[in-house]
Structure 1
Amino acid sequence: MKIVSVSGNISLQRDIDSGSEEQRKVVLNIIDDVKENRDKALFQYTEKFDHVQLESLLISDEEIKEAYREIDNEIILYIREAADNIRDYHQRQVKQSWMTTDQDGTILGQKITPLDSAGVYVPGGTAAYPSSVLMNVIPAQVAGVQRIAMVSPPQQDGRLPAGVLVAANELGIHEIYKVGGAQAIAALAYGTETITRVDKITGPGNIYVALAKREVFGVVDIDMIAGPSEIVVLADETAKASYVAADLLSQAEHDARASSVLVTPSKLLAEQTALEITNQLEALPRKEIAEASIRDYGAIYVTETLDEAIETVNQLAPEHLEIMTEQPYEIIGKIRHAGSIFLGENSSEPVGDYFAGPNHILPTNGTARFSSPLNVDDFTKKSSIISYSAQSIQMNGSKIAALARLEGLEAHAKSVEQRLGERK
C-alpha cells in the first residue's frame, strides 16, 4: 500500500466514474426497450446479462419458504434485532407538519406527506446484501410509504439469495422481483405489465444502475448516484495498526474499485498498517478483490500534524470516516464532510453496515460535501400552507401588487386587488 507524505494545503482530486459514452448508450437503449416492450424486454435482458431464463419475475411464496429453510434461526434473530435498531434510529428522524397563526389571522405552515410508492434496488453480483434490504426499506416504512417494491438480479439458479428474501419478508415486503441492472430501474420508472411504476428509486448498484438512475431522474425521484465504497481512517499514534488495517480491508473486499485510505500524522503507524494489510490480506476469501482495491485505490497519507490530517479528511469528504485518536470526541466538531462518522477503536465500520441503526446508504465520490445518508426525509415531500385572512390581505395587498408590477405581471397585481375592492 503506497505511503504518501503531505503537508500544507493539498488538493486531492477524485476520479469520479461517470461512465463512458458507450455505457450511457447501452443504458439509453435498455431504457427505451423496456418502455416499448415492457416485460418481454425484462425477460430478454435477464437471459442476456444474468444467464437465466425466468418463467416469472415475481418471487413466489414457495421461494420465500425455501429461503427460510436455508437460513439458521439464529441469523434470523440477528436480522430482526438489526431491523429493530435501524427502525429505532430512523424513528428519531420523523418530522411533523406544523402551522402558525399571526395576530392578523395569517396562517402559514408546512404539510409533510409520505410518498405513495418507492422502488428499492438491492445489488447482487459478487455478494448478497440483506443489509441493503433493511437500510432501504425501513426508512421508507417509517416515513409512511404504503407501497414498496423491491428488485434484485437473480443468481444463475434463477433465485434470489436466501438472506435477501428473508430480510424482505421480515419487513413485510412481498412485491419482490427477480430483475436487476438498468432494465430494473427502467421498469420501476416507467412500469411494465408486471411491475407498476413507483415515485422514487433508492439503492446502490453497478455503473449501469447508476447511469440508469441518472437518466430516469425527473420521471421519478432517486436517492443519489452511488459510486464504489469508500473508507477513510483518521488515526494518531495511539491507534492499533491491526485494527486500522482490518477496517481498511473491510471496504476493500467490497469491490476492486473501492477506496481505502489512512490519514495520520504518525509515520510509524503508517508503516505498521501497511505491513498489517499485507499480512491480513492472505487470510481473506476475497483476497483478489481486496488486493486490487488496495493496489489501485488505497493510500496512506502522512501529514505533519493532526490538524492537517483533519483538513485532508475534509478534502476527501469520505463515505465512511473512522476516527481512531486519543480524543475522538474533540475532533468530531472539526469534521465538515463525511457520510457516516465512527468514533473510537471499537466502532468499526461494519458495525454501521449491519447493526447499529444509522443508514449505510451514504454519499460517495466526495458528494458528502453537499449530501446526506439515506433517511426518512427522502421518502416524504413537503407542501407549503398559506391562508390569508381579510385583515391580512387588506394590510399587505398593495405591497404584493406593487411587487407584481415590478416584475411586469399585471394580472398578478389585479388578482390581489380584487380582494381589496379596487379596480385599476
Structure 2
Amino acid sequence: MLGSGESSHEAVYNRCALPQELIDQIVDALSSSKHSLRVCTLVAHAWLPSSRRYLFASVQLSEDKFVEFLAFARTCAFGPQYIRELTFNGHQPQQVMSNRTAISPAYLHSLLAYLPQLESLLLFMACLRDESSNAQSLQVPPSNLEGSTGQTSALKSLTIYYSGTQNDRFTDLAHVISVFPYIGRLYMRSQRFRSNYSPDDVPRELADTSPDVIVRLPPVQALVVDDNDFRTNLYLAVAVQSVAWCDNLRAIEIQSRQAWDHKMLGTLLRVTGTRLEYLSLQLSKLFEPENVEAFVEELSLSSCIALASLALQLHPNPFLLRPLSWATLCTLVGSIPRTTLVRHILLQIGVRSSHVNDMLHPWNGMDNILAGFDSLESVAFPAEHFAAYTEQGKELVRGAFPRVSRKARIEFPLSAQ
C-alpha cells in the first residue's frame, strides 16, 4: 500500500533508490565526462549534489554575465557553492568604460559570499575600481543582493592578469586584493595601470597611495611578479612596507624580464630572509655591475638563511651591452650562507648563450659552490623547449659539475616550471 500522500512514482523511486555512497562512487567514476555528469543531474534529486560538485568545480565567467551570475548564485541550491576555481574574463580594455562591469570590493564580496569553497581566482583583463569610482558600475546595488553573507574565505591562489586601465592606480588593485583575509599565492602579471610610468615614478605612486591601503593588504605566502620595470619595483616597494606581507612571505618569484631594482629586492630579502623558503629570480635584464661586491651586498642573498629551493634564470639578451656575467652569478650563489639547508637549485641558462661556455669550463667555480651545500639533493639545468640539451650536452654539463654529480641528482627538465 502507498504511504499517506505518496504517489506511485515516488513509491517506485523510494524502493529503487541507491545508497548515497554508491551514487557518489558512480558519479566519481564519470567525473571526466561533462556529458555524463549532465545526464546524472537528471536521474534524481539525490544525484544532483554529487554531479554538480564536478560540473561546477571550475567555472569561467564573462564580464557581461556578472550581474546575471549573481542572480543565479542567489537562487541556485546546488551549484555555485561547489566552485573551486573561477576565471573572470573581462573584455578588451579599449572598450568605453561606461559599458564595462568593474570589479569593486563591494561586488567582489557579494560574489564570493556564494562561493564558500573557492580556492583559486583568476581576474583576466578585468576592470578594477575602488568603491568611490565604481558606485554606478552595476545595475544592482550590493544591498539588494539577497542571501549574501558578506563572508569571504581565504584563497589558495589569486592571479590578476592584464587587468586595469591606464587611468587606474595601485589603490584600485590593492582594494581588490584586500577583499581576502589571506592569499596563499598572489600572482600579478602584466597589469595595465600606469603603463607610461617609469621606475623613477615609483616614489610618486607610493606617495599617492594612502598608508591605510597598504595596512589593509592581507597576508600573502607566495608573491609572484611578472610585469614591467615600474610595476615590478612598485610591488617590491609595497611588500617592504606591508607588515602582513613581510611577516608571512615564504616564497618570492620575480619572473619579470625587465631591469627590476635589485636594491629594493635586497631590502625585502633582509626583512623576509629568515623565513623565506623559495626564491626565484629572472636575471636576464640585469646589467653587469661595475662593483660586483657592492651589487651582491645590495641584493642580499646572504640574508636568505632558510632557503630550501633556489631558481635563477639567465637567458641570452642581445639588447644588453653588458649582461650579467657567469662569474657574477657564481658570486651571487656563493653569497648564500653554507649553513642554509638548500635542497634544490635550478639554473636556467640559455642554451645559445655565451654563459654556457663559461658554465662548461672545467674551472667554472659553480661546482664547488653548489657542492658546498650539505643538504643539496638536486640541481636542475632546464633549457628552452626549442633548444633542449642533447645527450652530448648533458654529459658535458655533468662533466663540468663532478662534485655536484657525486652528491646530488643533476636533472634536465624542458622548462623552469
Q: Same fold (TM over 0.5)?
A: no
Query: TM-score band (shorter)?
Result: under 0.3
- The alignment's TM-score, normalised by the length of structure 1, stands at 0.23
Structure (1 or 2) with the greater helix fraction:
1
| Greater relative contact order (Cα < 8 A, sep 6+) | 1
- The alignment's TM-score, normalised by the length of structure 2, stands at 0.23
